[in-house]
Amino acid sequence: MFAVVKTGGKQYRVAKDDIVIVEKIAGEAGDVISLDEVLMIGKEGEAPTVGTPRIEKAAVFAEVVEQGRADKIIVFKKKRRQNYRRKNGHRQDQTVLRVVEVSPTGTKPKGVAKAKAAPAKEAAADAPAKAKKAAPKAVKAKKTDDKPATEAKKAAPKKKAAPKKAASETAEKKAPAKKAAAKKTTKKTEE
């Protein structure tokens, strides 16, 4: 069974277990989302059902595989002979989806309910373990009264910058300007 789905202003033909890259959709990796704008549903060898403009109650359920960004494109504008050039780069946000089920009635598949509950149980089980790991990372502030050596280092004077040379010293070092060579004139002899 396949479906034509509209999302992000574009249309995609999808079937079960297809991987599709679409415009960014809210959700984390592992979440199952539903795409409700189904324009057409069909089976192999049968006439497809076409919506006007979409099929009511139909839905496509997909799992978010990854949230990412597309390759960078360069936007370059130029107006010749006007000294006008503008260069910009752009990376579009996108979501990678794996289609779980195409449902003409809009009912959720059995595996979808378990997929949403499983991450919540794992997060609840991992919470005490994460709290124990985070505790040793906390560092108490050290007292500086016990260590006079660190105070001495803090109180040490900073090095001063070297004094700048006077303008008259730099002027003496410059070479004198060269005079232009005199032009040689030749006499023309009259014949």
Do 69 and 93 contact (CB within 8 A), yes or no?
A: yes
What's the rounded mean pLDDT across residues 19-42?
A: 94
pLDDT band at 187 (very low <50, low <70, confident <90, very high): low
Residue 116: CB partners within 8 Å, gap ≥ 6? 31, 32
Sheet strands side by side (includes 19-23)? 19-23, 93-103, 59-69, 32-35
Residue 2 has pLDDT above 80, yes or no: yes
Per-residue model confidence (pLDDT) at position 149: 55
Per-residue model confidence (pLDDT) at position 107: 86
CA distance 83 to 130: 58
Per-residue model confidence (pLDDT) at position 148: 55
Between 142 and 51, the higher pLDDT residue = 51
CA distance 8 to 97: 13
Residue 138 has pLDDT above 50, yes or no: no
Per-residue model confidence (pLDDT) at position 109: 79
Per-residue model confidence (pLDDT) at position 65: 95
pLDDT digits 0-9 by tens, 83-126: 999 999 999 999 999 999 999 888 887 766 544 433 433 444 45
Per-residue model confidence (pLDDT) at position 105: 87
CA distance 115 to 34: 13
Residue 9: CB partners within 8 Å, gap ≥ 6? 23
User: For the whole model, what pTM was predicted?
Assistant: 0.55
Between 12 and 109, the higher pLDDT residue = 12
Residue 48 has pLDDT above 70, yes or no: yes
Residue given tokens 């005199």 in the structure block: 182
pLDDT digits 0-9 by tens, 68-78: 999 999 999 99
